[in-house]
Amino acid sequence: MTDTRLETTHRMIALYNAQDADGYVEYMTDTACEATYRGAVVREGKEGVRSGLKAMFAQFPENRAEILKSYVLGETVVLHEDVSRVPGGETFEVMSIYSFVGDKVDRVEFIR
């Protein structure tokens, strides 16, 4: 199951890079959320994640994330990412923590 979870998160990043919010949320539970690490929820529910991503993609149409390193432990996958908003622009690093319920992502927390 661990390899499946890792593959899921990598597929999600590929969909994120394609700016496919609909495809991205298909890997999430209906009650999934995205949040700051141990903090506030920034996108609540599958539909909240979808609409939040679509708004971000409209604002940053060339936004991309590159996976630098992946870690898997039990029900959790952690991705170390390098994110750019525009080609050749400044980048920033993010640690994304994906928590699963079964084979679906239920929560993503970001450390930046």
What are the beta bridge partners of residue 81?
67, 94
**Can you tell me the distance from the alpha carbon of 4 to that of 72, in angstroms, rounded to the nearest whole number?**
10
The domain containing residue 63 runs over which residues? 4-111
* Res. 107: pLDDT tops 90: yes
Give me the mean pLDDT over the 87-111 stretch. Answer: 95
**Can you tell me the distance from the alpha carbon of 47 to that of 62, in angstroms, rounded to the nearest whole number?**
22
Residue pair 10/70 in contact (Cβ under 8 Å)? The answer is yes
What's the pLDDT at 97?
98
**Ordered alpha helix ranges (H), 35-98:** 45-59
Percent of the chain with pLDDT over 90: 90
What's the pLDDT at 1?
44
Residues 6+ apart with CB under 8 A from 37: 95, 97, 109, 110, 111
> How many domains is the chain built from?
1
What's the pLDDT at 74?
87
Q: What is the pLDDT of residues 16-50, one digit of tens each?
A: 999 999 999 999 999 999 999 998 999 999 999 99
Give me the mean pLDDT over the 100-109 stretch. Answer: 95
- The CATH number given to whatever domain includes residue 54 is 3.10.450.50
Q: What is the pLDDT of residues 44-93, one digit of tens each?
A: 999 999 999 999 999 999 999 999 999 999 889 999 999 999 888 899 99
